Amino acid sequence: MPSSSSPNAVQCPALFIAAPHSGCGKTTITAAIARAYRQQGKIVRVFKTGPDYLDPQILRLASGEPVEQLDMWMAGEAYCQQMLFHAAQEADLILIEGVMGLFDGTPSSADLAERFAIPLALVMDVKGMAQTAGAMAVGLANYRPALQFAGLIANGCASERHRELIEEALPDNIPILATLAQDEQITLPERHLGLVQAEEMTTELESRINAGADLLKAQPILELPEAVNFYPTESLNTSAALSEKPLRGKTIAVAKDAAFSFIYDSNLRLLQQLGADYRFFSPLKDSELPEADALWLPGGYPELHAETLSGNTRLIAQIRHFHQSGKPILAECGGFLYCLDTLTELEENTYPMLGLIAGDGAMRGKRGCQGMQTAPLPEGDIRGHAHHKSLSENTPEPITHGRRQRHPAPGEPIYRDRGLTATYLHLFFGSNPDAVAALFSQHT
């Protein structure tokens, strides 16, 4: 179990799983590592770099523990530090899955790993190359000398001879931690926004994760890495709302099912810290809206369930009445599409939706929008991100637009009607608890 090297620090073995680019198998391998250690009876806490709803579902299933997002822009450095410190107090191993390529983004996976001195395991898809894989690993390892490299995980390694050729090209300080052959039995299924949700195929995912863990047995990756010092922070949770609990006594109804599932656990936790209770309901199955003071319609896959959503006319009538009452409603991405007049799904069938905002939503194939943005709401700035492959048309004039992290062009439009705030943006509540408290308190 973790030990302490000083009155303030907690030590825990930790490993950062990174890659040269997306599609190398980071999530598959991180899940396999987590499951393999869990099978040894160890407590594994997994984190996902950046804003991501789908990968954490897989990693939570693999580890059996909560999975949090770490992003030094969206959540803040102090938040990331505190999450790691708390995890180190209970875990035998901390795993962090990176995002995109190792140096992509600002801040990048490399920035996060360097800031907290976490050694990197580089996942590379080595199909179609041998010594070149070694050269690429050496280049990435030496690009920023402050980074600590634990070694290479060679994904798609065809044979023992293939491994030997790669190993011959590597210096002694970059060992091969594991090799995995291409195997459809461990590949995680995908769709247009990323991996398929864990709850849609739990049994099959369990089989794939276990198969991945089996492939790692007796490989060096299952030797615990060196312990890392994790420190608490004194600069977190300074907002007035967290101490005053302005949402005390309020209940927030949260849509949660196969159509609406893009929910950060940390967002729910913050609502509780602000004093609120929350109740889940299913727009797909429930005909009654829970008794609530506010409503949250998060993102998800309404386009895959448009016909069912449209057919739940009793619930639609109740949500419309809730909107007419002026109570607070937050609708994000898929929740925003649900609020429009119509939604045209992937097969180009069009269905009526809630009609809380004039406009029509439609899927648009491979084209989409993604990136970090700030929502400059009247209640205050809340950071978040956009990630969608749909468009909205015939909508009213927005009250404002998202502010992009690194580009001057206007970001996603943000709409307000009565107590409804609707946008493509997914908000990270912890970036401004005071604004979130005000957002769920406002009543017109």
DSSP label at residue 333: T
Q: In degrees rounded to 5, what are phi and psi of residue 383?
A: -85, 155
Q: In degrees rounded to 5, what are phi and psi of residue 153?
A: -110, 115
Which of the residues are catalytic? 333
Helix/strand/coil for 403? strand
Q: In degrees rounded to 5, what are phi and psi of residue 150?
A: -80, -30
Both tokens of residue 243?
């101490």
Strands (E) across 302-393 are located at 329-332, 342-344, 350-352, 360-363, 369-377, 380-388, 390-393
Task: Give CA angle at 437 (435, 441), nearest 5°.
Answer: 115
The residues, any chain, with a CB within 8 Å of residue 251's CB and separated by 6 or more, are 276, 277, 278, 279, 290, 291, 292, 293, 294
The residues, any chain, with a CB within 8 Å of residue 348's CB and separated by 6 or more, are none
